[in-house]
Homo-oligomer: A and B are copies of this chain.
């Protein structure tokens, strides 16, 4: 009954940017710093393509506080008047300590357990194509949570937890080192335009 009443939710999705656990350039697990420009770019991007939330994920409380401060600056008072589209985009942001918290939150607002789909330039095995993922998004009754890494990419433990692994964005000359901002833009455009 809950399921059939949620037909309108088809194609619903959220995005998450993970700062832990990810790899550093030596292949060690690390926590990356939150980068302001990532927050602005991905919230605008999410807003443009209809994401219902943009989760900024870090276990460091001081970093979560920083993101909330940035959000307050731009969504209240002078900041909101100065640049209203920035405010509108940042209202998508939720700050969470871990991926599990995002899954729970997304389930609480949509009423359905989300499918987790990870992205990454290094994914090779069992990847789904953009066409397959588009089909699933159309058919899917549960929301999708598209997960992006920082640093040198999502740790294996996150990749293993996912329901789906999206094929990497491939360029034309064998060079595959896009910023997460550019990769996320390309991926959302391919899936949701």
Contact = CB atoms under 8 A, between A and B. Distances in A.
A7 interface: no
Nearest to A48: B171
A89 interface: yes
Copies of this chain present in the complex amount to 2
B45 A178 contact: yes
Given A47-B171, A172-B49, A177-B48, A182 B41 contact: yes
A81 to B, nearest CB: 12
Given A169-B189, A185-B185, A190-B189, A47 B179 contact: no
A85 interface: yes
A26 to B, nearest CB: 12
A176 interface: yes
Contacts of A83: 25
A37 B181 CA distance: 10
Contacts of A161: none
A44 to B, nearest CB: 5
Nearest to A177: B85
A181 B181 contact: yes
Contacts of A177: 44, 47-48, 85-86, 89
Q: Which 6 A-B pairs have the closest CB atoms?
A: A48-B171, A182-B185, A185-B185, A85-B177, A186-B189, A50-B172
